[in-house]
Each structure stands twice: as structure tokens, then as C-alpha cells.
């Protein structure tokens, strides 16, 4: 933050003790809290679809799994936002972080697809930390600096998303159960409890007792639906929320389906080519991985008393779904070795390779997000304007989504094409997302900002419900690239909405007074 911004007047709802120095310390603390939270999240999420596929999930079921966290968030995030307005940001953040850590434990112990669902449901119910953190940052940031602050917020996401998938990729190569969901879940759980301890010790409350009392004295809405209705009735804010919903719906196809798209179009064909070129070397590698699985003291095959710890290669008796290429029978004329089927050999080799490729792609996405939102977005909104950035960003996102599908045809089995497509997509998302959040905070009434941002975040959760489900259905019933073409069309609709947003874009003076 620049010196000028740190000396700017505080929002009126901030406590009197929070001078410029205290505000800067609080900003760094909340950003570190968000970093640890997203780091654990980003270690698991890129690999979630890979584990679902190992358990035989269809693309639609993979999409449902990707969306269930957001489904819980859609229902509970406005509640957490309203509670944070009335009882403070700090206690809600602590409860949310604790629930996230419990969800990671459930993920670590998952033996099957239903247990993966349970883990995501637990995390989703208590997942009000991001919207509460956004409200926290808004509390301590003057309106004219919020785009810059949300750019740093996005950069924090970028750092975590750059590091997290790479950590997940590295962990996936560990022997035995430590290389599967057990290792990833326990590592993320450790981050969660570390985050909880740090937030409990260093994170101050931002809402003064006077503001909290006023917020508690306001009559509660009769139901969560009334909270949505009230927020969506606010002029200008409802348009921003709609654009954010459409953009998130389109982008969510990446979250839900991209990993299995990579598995089908790139990882499985490349592993199968490797097996066909040198079957004996592939068998040797698979035997090494299988031996580590059987000898691991944490493996389910390690004997009685260890059955709670899941196997790392998933259900080896279940073939991949037909839409992902179906079962693998091995190279023609080559018999499978004793004790190993070709299905088992392929799965043993595909999982770490998929983790490596997906981790690298998501790592690039995170790194570019860091450069865009932590660099370009610190000054670009003031120079170009917020609404033009939304327009340009949504159009670039449409191009990026379309290129994901095109690259598999223009450069089949060549992973550089997907790195390029993800870079285009990340550029568009990085230009538009922090600006939309800033506009939402400016158009929201000050006393209801936490609830309004909770609704904004919750409608984005709705987009993350719709996107993966539509993407999974399109993947399984039309073609592997169909979800991304559909996402590009949705982004063009969002761009059209952004053009209408020009008519009531906030002026600089309005932003300062918000």
C-alpha cells in the first residue's frame, strides 16, 4: 500500500483505535490468513477430480462433487456475512477456519466417492471465511483504495494458487498413502490449524462496539431469502452481481471439469503411449508404486488397525468412465504381469502424472494471477476505469475458454497449448474479478456491506454450482470440449451486461463517498 493510501481517512464503521499503522498491520494479517486458507484449498481442489475419476465417477458426478462445496456456501455464506455484521468479523473468521480444517480431515480419510462428498460438504457449510475476509478488508480500506486492496487480495489468491498446486503435485509423488488424498488432506489440515492459531492471536476486530450494537438492533430478515431479495433490489449492485454470477458460472467449468479434461485428452493418451513403447519399463515403475502402497504403514493394506487410512490409487477394481476413455486393456499382444492388471498399471502411472500436469497448469494460473492482480491492478483501475476493465476482462475470458477446447484440436497431446489457453483465461479473470468486487462494495450500503458482500459471494457460489454441473453434463453427453465452448458463450453474455454497466459507473467522487 502506498503512503498516501495509508494516510487516507478511515471508513466510518472502523474502530477509533485503528490508525494508519494499525490498519496496515491488520491488512497484512488478514491477507496472510487468506493466503493460508487458499493454500490448503488449492492443494486439494486441482486433484479432486483426479481422485473422483479414480473412483469411477462420471464427468457429471465429478461436476456435482466440484459444486457441492459451493452449494453449501450458497446457503450459508449470507448467514455468516449477516452474523459478521452483528457479532464481528473475527469470531466468524475463527469458526470458518476451524470448520475448514475439519473438512480436510474428512478428505484425508476418504475411502470412496461418498466420503469425498462428505468432506466437501463439511468445508462448504463453514466456508464463510472468504466473504468475511473481504468485508474485513473493506472495513479498514477507504473507498477510493478498495480496487487496489482487492487487487492485493487477488494477488494473495494468486500466490496461494501458484504454490498450492505445486505442493499438491509434489505430495502426490510420495510413497504409499502419503501420496494420495490422505497426505494431501493431512498437510492441508495442518495449514488450517496453523491458520486458526495465527488468526486467534493476531487478528483484531474491525467493527466498533457502537457499529455492532447498531447492526444487532436492526431487525433480522425473516429468512435468508429475504436477505437475497433486499440486496438484489439495490440498483446498480444487482447488475454487478449478475455479471459476477455469469462470469463465475463460465469460469467454474475449469474448476469442475478441467482436471478430467486433461486426464482424458492428454494424460491417459501419453501414459498409454509410454506403456506401448516400453511395456517392461512401465511394469517396473508400476510394481515400485504398488510395493510402496502395500508396504506403507499408513496404507489400508498394511493390516488390521490401519483400515481408516485410504489407498492412494483409488478403487483399482473400477475402470475409468466411458466418457474418459473407458477401461484400459493394455498394449496388443502383451500379457499383463502376475499380480497386476493393465488397468491397475495405468492407474498407478496416471495419478501422479495427472497431478504433475494439473499442478503445473494451475501453478501457472496462480503465478499469472499474482502478476496481474498484484501488479497491473494496483494502478490500472485509476488509469483506465473500473467498468472498461470489466468489459475487456470478460471478452478475454471468453477467448480463453474457447481456446481451451481449440488447443486440443490444433495441438493434440501438446500440453503447451493448454498453458497458453490458461494464460489467456487468467488474464481476463484477473482484470475483471477484483473490479467487480470493488464495485459491489461501493454500491452496497455501509451498514449492510458484510451482508451484501456475503450475497455477492453467495451468488458466485451459485455460479460454481451451475457451472460444474452444466460442464459435466456437456462433457459426458456432447464432447470433452463442449463445457469450454459453452463457457465462452456465457462470458459473451456477461460482456454485454458489462457494456450496460457504463451507464451508471460510479464517478471518482461517488467512490470516495461510498
The owner of cell 506403456 is 275
Domain-located, residue 234:
yes
- pLDDT tens for 478-502 read 999 999 999 999 999 999 888 887 7
For residues 157 and 252, the model is more confident at: 252
C-alpha grid cell, residue 382: 485509476
Number of independent structural domains in the chain? 1
244: CATH:
1.20.1250.20
Query: What is the pLDDT, as a whole number, of residue 32?
Result: 84
CA–CA distance, 387 with 202 (Å, rounded to integer): 36
CA–CA distance, 481 with 134 (Å, rounded to integer): 34
305, pLDDT greater than 70:
no
Asked whether 67 and 464 are in contact (CB, 8 A), the reply is: yes
- pLDDT tens for 366-413 read 788 778 876 777 778 878 888 889 899 999 999 999 999 998 888 777
- Nearest CA-CA partner of 355 in 181, 113, 94: 181
Domain-located, residue 285:
no
452, pLDDT greater than 60:
yes
Residue 56 — left, alpha, or beta (φ > 0 → left; ψ -120 to 50 → alpha)?
left
CA–CA distance, 360 with 336 (Å, rounded to integer): 32
168, pLDDT greater than 50:
yes
The owner of cell 483505535 is 17
CA–CA distance, 433 with 421 (Å, rounded to integer): 18
213, pLDDT greater than 70:
yes
- Nearest CA-CA partner of 388 in 447, 429, 431, 347: 431
178, pLDDT greater than 80:
no
Domain-located, residue 309:
no
Query: What is the pLDDT, as a whole number, of residue 306?
Result: 41
Domain-located, residue 187:
yes
Please name the residues in contact with 127: beta carbons below 8 A apart, sequence gap of 6 or more: 69, 72, 73, 76, 77, 96, 99, 100
Domain-located, residue 189:
yes
Taking the CA atoms of residue 237, residue 238, residue 241 and residue 247 in that order, the dihedral angle to the nearest 10 degrees is: -120
- pLDDT tens for 374-386 read 677 777 887 888 8
Domain-located, residue 320:
no
pTM of the model: 0.75
State the residue range of the domain holding 375. Answer: 18-203+212-217+224-269+346-513
What average pLDDT is seen over the chain? 79
- Nearest CA-CA partner of 135 in 431, 435, 374, 437: 437
- Nearest CA-CA partner of 152 in 2, 364, 361: 2
Domain-located, residue 447:
yes
Query: What is the pLDDT, as a whole number, of residue 404?
Result: 92
The owner of cell 495427472 is 354
Domain-located, residue 315:
no
The vertex-126 CA angle with 139 and 218, nearest 5°, equals 50
Asked whether 140 and 14 are in contact (CB, 8 A), the reply is: yes
- pLDDT tens for 79-116 read 887 888 888 888 888 888 898 889 889 888 887 888 88
Amino acid at each position: 500500500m502506498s503512503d498516501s493510501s495509508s494516510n487516507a481517512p478511515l471508513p466510518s464503521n472502523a474502530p477509533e483505535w485503528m490508525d494508519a499503522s494499525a490498519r496496515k498491520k491488520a491488512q497484512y494479517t488478514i491477507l496472510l490468513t487468506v493466503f493460508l486458507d487458499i493454500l490448503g484449498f488449492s492443494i486439494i481442489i486441482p486433484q479432486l477430480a483426479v481422485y473422483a475419476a479414480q473412483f469411477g465417477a462420471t464427468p457429471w458426478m465429478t461436476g456435482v462433487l466440484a459444486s457441492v462445496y459451493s452449494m453449501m456456501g450458497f446457503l450459508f455464506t449470507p448467514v455468516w456475512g449477516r452474523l459478521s455484521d452483528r457479532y464481528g468479523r473475527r469470531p466468524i473468521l475463527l469458526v470458518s477456519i476451524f470448520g475448514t480444517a475439519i473438512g480436510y480431515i474428512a478428505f484425508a480419510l476418504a475411502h470412496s466417492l461418498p466420503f469425498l462428498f462428505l468432506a466437501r460438504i463439511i468445508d462448504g457449510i463453514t466456508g464463510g471465511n472468504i466473504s468475511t475476509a473481504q468485508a474485513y478488508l473493506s472495513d479498514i480500506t477507504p473507498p477510493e483504495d478498495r480496487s487496489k486492496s482487492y487487487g492485493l487480495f487477488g494477488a494473495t489468491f494468486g500466490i496461494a494458487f501458484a504454490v498450492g498446486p505445486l505442493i499438491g503435485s509434489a505430495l502426490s509423488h510420495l510413497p504409499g498413502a502419503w501420496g494420495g488424498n490422505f497426505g494431501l488432506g493431512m498437510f492441508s489440515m495442518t495449514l488450517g490449524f496453523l491458520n486458526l492459531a495465527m488468526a486467534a492471536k493476531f487478528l483484531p476486530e474491525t467493527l466498533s462496539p457502537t457499529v455492532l450494537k447498531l447492526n444487532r438492533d436492526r431487525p433480522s430478515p425473516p429468512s435468508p431469502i429475504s436477505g437475497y431479495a433486499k440486496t438484489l433490489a439495490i440498483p446498480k449492485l444487482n447488475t454487478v452481481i449478475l455479471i459476477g454470477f455469469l462470469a463465475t458460472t463460465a469460469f467454474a467449468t475449469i474448476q469442475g471439469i478441467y482436471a478430467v479434461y486433461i486426464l482424458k485428452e492428454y494424460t491417459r493418451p501419453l501414459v498409454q503411449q509410454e506403456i506401448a513403447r516400453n511395456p517392461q519399463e512401465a511394469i517396473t515403475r508400476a510394481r515400485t508404486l504398488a510395493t510402496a502402497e502395500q508396504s506403507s504403514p499408513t496404507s489400508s493394506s498394511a493390516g488390521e488397525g490401519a483400515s481408516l487410512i485410504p489407498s492412494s490409487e483409488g478403487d483399482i477394481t473400477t475402470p475409468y468412465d466411458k466418457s474418459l476413455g473407458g477401461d484400459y486393456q493394455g498394449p496388443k499382444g502383451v500379457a499383463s504381469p502376475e499380480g497386476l492388471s493393465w488397468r491397475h498399471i495405468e492407474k498407478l502411472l496416471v495419478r501422479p502424472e495427472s497431478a504433475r500436469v494439473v499442478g503445473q497448469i494451475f501453478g501457472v494460473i496462480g503465478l499469472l494471477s499474482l502478476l496481474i492482480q498484484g501488479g497491473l491492478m494496483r494502478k490500472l483501475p485509476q488509469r483506465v476505469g473500473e467498468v472498461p476493465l470489466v468489459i475487456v476482462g470478460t471478452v478475454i475470458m471468453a477467448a480463453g475458454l474457447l481456446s481451451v477446447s481449440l488447443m486440443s484440436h490444433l495441438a493434440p497431446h501438446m500440453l503447451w497449448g493448454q498453458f497458453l489457453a490458461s494464460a489467456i483465461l487468467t488474464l481476463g479473470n484477473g482484470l475483471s474479478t477484483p473490479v467487480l468486487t470493488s464495485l459491489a462494495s461501493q454500491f452496497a450500503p455501509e451498514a449492510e456491506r458484510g451482508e451484501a458482500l456475503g450475497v455477492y459471494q453467495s451468488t458466485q457460489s451459485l455460479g460454481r454450482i451451475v457451472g460444474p454441473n452444466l460442464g459435466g453434463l456437456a462433457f459426458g453427453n456432447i464432447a470433452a470440449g463442449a463445457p469450454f465452448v459453452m463457457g465462452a458463450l456465457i462470458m459473451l453474455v456477461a460482456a454485454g451486461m458489462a457494456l450496460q454497466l457504463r451507464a451508471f459507473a460510479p464517478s471518482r467522487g461517488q467512490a470516495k463517498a461510498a
